[in-house]
A and B are shown apart, each in its own frame.
Chain A
Amino acid sequence: MSAGRFYASELRLVMLRRRNLLLLAVTAIFPLVIGIALRLAAPHPEGGNGNGVAFFNQLAGNGVFLTFIALSTLLILVLPVVVAVVAGDSVAGEAGYGTLRYLLAVPAGRTRLLAVKFAAIVVFGLAATVIVSAVSLATGAALFPVGPVTLLSGATVPLAEGLLRVLFVTLYVAAAMAALGAIGLAISTLTEHAIGAIAAIAILVVTSEVVDQVPQLAAIGPYLPTHWWLSFDAILRAPVDTSTLLKGLLSFGVYAVLFGSFAWARFTSADVTS
C-alpha cells in the first residue's frame, strides 16, 4: 500500500514532468514524419540487402510495416536518448536538487528508493516504445493500405496475427530499453550531475553501436549492450526465430541484473554528500 504510494508519486513525477512529456511528444512526432516522408517518396522496388530495407519495400503494400521502420530508426538514437534522460536523471537529479538526502531521511530506504526509480524508468521506456508503435500503426493505416501481413520469411499471416506480432516487437524493444535503463540507473548513482549521467549513457550507446559495426571486432559484438536491439525482426518470420530472440532477451536480462546489482551496491554503501 505505502510502497504503492511512493511508486505512484515517482510515476507522477516522471510522467507529468514537462520535460519528459516533451520527450514523449517528440517521440510521437517521428513516426508521423517518417510515414509522411515515405508516402511522398515512392519506394525503390529493387532495394538492397538488410532488414531496414526489407521493411521499406514491404511498407508500400502494408501500413503495418511503418511500426518496424519507425522502431528500427528510432532505436538508433532517439529512443535510447529518451530513456537515458530519465534514467540518468533518476538518482543524479535528486542528488543535484538535494532532495536525495531528504528522501533518505524520510526514510524512503535506499534499496526501496532504487527499486522505485528503476520501475519508473521501465514504465517510461515502455510508454515511449508503445507511443512509437501506436502512432506508427495509426499513421501507417492512414497513409498506406492495410491487410494481411507478409512476413520477412515470405509467408502471409492474417492482420490480427500481424498486429499481435507488432505487440511482441514492442514488448521486445521495451525490454531492451529496460536493460538500458538499468545501465543508466547505475551511471546515475555515480554523480550528482544529471546532465553528465545522461551524456555518458548516450555516449555508451553510440560507442556500442559503432563497435558493433566494426568487422574486426565481430567476436565481441554479441556481448555489446546494443547488439540485440534490432533482432526483433526474428518475430517477423514464420516460424519465429526463437533462438535469436532468447539470446536477445538473455542479453537484456544479464545487463539489467549486472548493472542493477552495481547500482544497488554503490547506492547502499556510498555517503550522500549532496
Chain B
Amino acid sequence: MTAISTSGLTKRFRGGQLAVDHIDLAVPLGSVYGFLGPNGSGKTTTIRMLLGLAYPTSGSASLLGVPMPDGATRVLHRVGSLVEGPAFYPFLTGADNLARYDAADRTADPATARARITEALDRVGLVAAAKKRYRHYSLGMKQRLAIASGLLRPRELIILDEPTNGLDPQGTREVRALIRQIAADGTTVFVSSHLLAEVEQICTHVGVMRTGKLVFQGSLPELRRTGASRVTVQTADAKAAAKVLTGLGLADAQGSEAEASAILGDASPEKVCAELVQAGIGVRGFAVTSPSLEDLFVGLTGEGFDVSG
C-alpha cells in the first residue's frame, strides 16, 4: 500500500485550462515526499483533488489505499492537512478554532478534545496564545495554528501545502524541525513547496511538477543520478586537453582559456587524469563536479519568474 497514489489524475478547469495533466503519484508509506514545482504548476489543484475538495476531470486518486473522493469520510480523519494557507474564524480564539474543527470530526473523541487541543498547541508553541483571538495572530502564528489543526489527533499521513509560506527564516527552520519530528513518529509527510532548498534537507522523495505534468518522481539519490557529472581540468593548454578528453570518448568536451571540461559518463576519473598527463598536458587542477540539486530542479522546472501554466 502507498500513502498516496494517483493514476492519470487530470483536472481541466471550466475555462479549458489543463491544470493537472495525467499525473501518476506514488508516495511510499513512511516517506517525506517533497512535492515541488513553481507557483501555478498544479500542486495545489492536485492537493485539492487528493483531499476531495475538487473533483478530477479524469483519472483516480487514493489516500492510504482508500479511493478519493468517494472514501473521503472513511479516510480523511487519518489525514492531517494544510491547504493553501491557514483559514480560521477571526472572531474565535486559537483554541476555540481548533475545537470547532475537532467538533466537525465525527470520529474524534469529545472526552479527550481539550487535552488533544492543548497538546497540538504545545507542539507548535502556541499555548501562550491559545486564548487570543485569531484576528490578532501574526502570520507565523496563523501558519502554526494551521499545522496544529493537522495534529489534533495521531495521523498516518500529513499533507502540507506550502507550510513555510510567509514565515521568516527562523519560522521556516521551526516548521522544518516540526516536519522532521512528525516524520520520526512514522507519519508519512507530503509537503509541497516552490523552493527546493526549503525541503531538500528533510525529504526522502521528491516529485517535480511543471505546467501540470509530473516531470520527475523518485528518491533524492535517484534525482541526483539524473545529473551528469563533469570532469574539469585546469591547464595552460585547454584546447589540447579538450582534444584528449574527446579522444577518451567523453561527450561535450569544451576547452576555453585555462580550463577544459567534459561529461564524465562511465569513465574513471583516475584514468582520465593519467591519460591527460601521459599526453603531455600540464594539469594544474583536476575536479569532478556533480550538479547541485538546485541546478537539477531548475533544469526540470525551467528558470525565471514566468509563472508556468
Do A and B share a complex? yes
Give the B-binding residues of A (Cβ under 8 A). 1-3, 5-6, 8-9, 13, 17-18, 97-99, 101-109, 112-113, 269, 271-273
| B72 interface contact, C-beta 8 A | yes
Closest 4 CB pairs of A and B: A98-B87, A9-B103, A107-B76, A2-B106
With A102-B101, A106-B105 already in contact, the answer to whether A5 and B110 are too (CB < 8 A) is yes
Asked if B53 contacts A9 (CB within 8 A), the reply is: no
- Say whether B90 contacts A6, CB under 8 Å: no
From DSSP, what is the main secondary structure of chain B's interface residues? loop
**Contact of A107 with B73 in the complex, beta carbons under 8 Å:** yes
User: Can you report 10 A-B residue pairs in the complex whose CB atoms are below 8 A from each other?
Assistant: A6-B103, A98-B84, A101-B87, A105-B76, A107-B52, A107-B73, A107-B76, A108-B104, A271-B54, A272-B48
| Contact between chains at A97 and B104 (CB < 8 Å) | no
B183 at the interface (CB under 8 A from A): no
A101 in contact with B53 (CB, 8 Å): yes
Contact with A along B18-57 (1 / 0, CB 8 A): 0000000000000000000000000000001001111100
Bound Cα distance A16, B105 (Å): 21
The proximity string for B residues 90-126 relative to A, scoring 1 for CB distances below 8 Å and 0 otherwise, is 1100000001110111111010000000000000000
B53 and A271: CB pair below 8 A? yes
Which of A5, A102, A108 is close to B83, meaning CB atoms less than 8 Å apart?
A102
Q: A271 CA to B106 CA in the complex, in Å?
A: 22
CB atoms of A6 and B88 under 8 A apart: no
Given the known interface contacts A106-B76, A109-B106, A271-B55, the answer about A99 and B89 at a Cβ–Cβ threshold of 8 Å is yes
Bound-state Cα–Cα, A273 to B79, Å: 20
Q: B243 at interface (Cβ–Cβ under 8 A)?
A: no
- Measured CA separation A269–B87 after assembly (Å): 22
- Asked if B53 and A103 make an inter-chain contact with CB atoms under 8 angstroms apart, the answer reads no
Given A103-B101, A106-B77, A272-B54; A6-B83 close (CB under 8 Å): no
- The verdict on B149 contacting chain A, using a C-beta distance below 8 Å, is yes
Q: What chain A residues lie within 8 Å of B48 (beta carbons)?
A: 101, 271-273
A5 to B72 alpha-carbon distance, docked (Å): 20
Expressed in whole angstroms, the minimum distance between the Cβ of B278 and any Cβ of chain A is 66
Rounded to whole angstroms, the CA-CA distance of A106 and B146 in the bound complex is: 12
Residue B282 at the A interface, CB < 8 A?
Answer: no
Is B81 within 8 A of A105, CB to CB?
Answer: yes
Q: A98 near B85 (CB under 8 angstroms)?
A: yes
Whether the pair A2, B73 counts as a contact (CB closer than 8 A) is no
CA–CA, A80 and B107, complex, Å: 36
Find out whether the CB atom of B55 lies under 8 angstroms from the CB atom of A13.
Answer: no
B contact residues vs A (CB 8 Å cutoff):
48, 51-55, 72-73, 76-77, 79, 81, 83-91, 99-101, 103-108, 110, 149
Q: Are A6 and B87 in contact (CB under 8 A)?
A: no
A17-B91 CB under 8 A given contacts A9-B103, A103-B101, A106-B77? yes
- A104 lies within 8 A of B52 (CB): yes
The answer to whether A8 touches B53 (Cβ under 8 A) is: no
Contact between chains at B106 and A104 (CB < 8 Å): no
**C-alpha gap A269/B52 in the complex (Å):** 11
Most buried by B among A6, A102, A104, A271: A102
B295 → chain A, closest Cβ, in Å?
35
Known: A98-B84, A102-B81. 14 other contacts (CB 8 A): A1-B110, A5-B103, A98-B86, A101-B53, A105-B81, A106-B105, A107-B73, A107-B76, A108-B105, A109-B106, A271-B48, A271-B53, A272-B54, A273-B54
Residue of A nearest to B105 (CB): A106
CB of A105 within 8 A of CB of B51, answer yes
Which residues on the B side are within 8 Å of A8 (C-beta)?
A: 103
A97 near B101 with CB under 8 A, answer: no
Cβ–Cβ < 8 Å partners of B53 in chain A: 101, 104-105, 271-272
Does B107 contact A2, Cβ atoms closer than 8 Å? yes
User: Distance (Å) between the CB of B180 and the closest chain A CB?
Assistant: 23
Q: Name the residue on B nearest A99 (C-beta).
A: B87
In contact, B104 and A106 (Cβ under 8 angstroms): yes
- CA of A3 to CA of B108 in the docked complex: distance in angstroms? 11
Asked if residues B87 and A105 are in contact (CB atoms below 8 Å), the reply is: no
A252 CA to B79 CA, complexed, in Å: 41
Instruction: With both chains docked as a complex, state the minimum distance between the C-beta of B70 and any C-beta of chain A, in angstroms.
Output: 12
Specify which of B73, B77, B81, B84 lies most central, judged by the most chain A CB atoms within 10 Å of its CB.
B73
Q: Of residues B84, B87, B88, B107, which shows the largest number of chain A Cβ atoms within 10 Å of its Cβ?
A: B87
**Chain B residues within 8 Å of A99, by CB:** 87-89, 100
The docked-state distance in angstroms from the alpha carbon of A200 to that of B1 is 49
Residue in contact with A3 in the complex, picked from B72, B77, B99, B106, CB distance below 8 Å: B106
Please give me the residue from chain A that is nearest to B86 by CB atom: A98
Residues of A with C-beta under 8 A to B103 = 5-6, 8-9
